[in-house]
């Protein structure tokens, strides 16, 4: 058995992607969609298996354990805080999935610094450099990553709402969240 050398930030993103992939996915599918090398994907899957976040056959994420890690551990294992002003892709409370729930100044937005974004805000470092591109290519992945950033860097009410929405996604009720967000946004 391989030694576990600690989780890497992109391991979280790999697990989030596996959660939403159809049966029959391959390491190449993950590598292509996340802009991570196939060897790093395989190492990531192995670390997650050793951490008991992924089944022995590396095909199924243990949702409860992974959710528990995200809500109770990520802010300690992968801490973050708002940094310098930057242009990038919105995340945390500023992201589309959370924006309708909170009132904040446009100048208080959080972003992943990236040439792919157009919004100015305070920088939140992504788990790996290509994360903004991968997120912009997959709305569900983007929403999950933005919720995780709200848990890692947000205030109490933002963390609580993000945890609630993430649980809904993990319980496969993503469509309901999106529809209720549309309704809430239309009535404001």
The neighbouring-strand residues paired with 17 are none
CA 41-132-106 angle, 5° bins: 150
Angle at 150 between CA 145 and CA 155, to 5 degrees: 175
pTM of the complete model beyond 0.85: yes
Alpha helices in the chain (DSSP H): 9-20, 27-34, 38-50, 63-72, 74-77, 96-99, 131-136, 139-153, 156-170, 174-186
Report the alpha-carbon distance of residue 152 to residue 170 in Å, rounded.
Answer: 18
Per-residue pLDDT of the chain (188 residues; tens, 9 = 90+): 566 678 999 999 999 999 988 788 999 999 999 999 999 999 999 999 999 999 888 888 999 999 999 999 999 999 999 999 999 999 999 999 999 898 888 889 999 999 999 999 999 999 999 999 999 999 999 999 999 999 999 999 999 999 999 999 988 754 444 444 444 433 33
């Amino acid at each position: 058995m391989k030694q576990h050398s600690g989780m890497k930030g992109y391991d979280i993103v790999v697990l989030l992607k596996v959660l939403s992939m159809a049966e029959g996915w391959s390491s190449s599918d993950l590598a292509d969609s996340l802009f991570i090398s196939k060897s790093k994907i395989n190492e990531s899957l192995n670390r997650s298996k050793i951490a008991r976040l992924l089944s022995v056959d590396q095909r199924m994420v243990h949702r409860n354990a992974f959710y528990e890690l995200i809500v109770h551990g990520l802010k300690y294992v992968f801490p973050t805080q708002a940094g310098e002003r930057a242009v990038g892709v919105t995340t945390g409370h500023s992201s589309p999935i959370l924006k309708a729930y909170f009132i904040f100044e446009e100048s208080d937005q959080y972003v992943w610094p990236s040439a792919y974004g157009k919004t100015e805000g305070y920088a939140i470092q992504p788990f790996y450099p290509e994360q903004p591109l991968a997120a912009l290519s997959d709305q569900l992945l983007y929403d999950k990553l933005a919720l995780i950033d709200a848990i890692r860097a947000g205030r109490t009410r933002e963390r609580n709402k993000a945890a609630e929405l993430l649980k809904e996604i993990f319980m496969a009720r993503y469509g309901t969240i999106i529809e209720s967000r549309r309704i809430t946004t239309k009535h404001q």
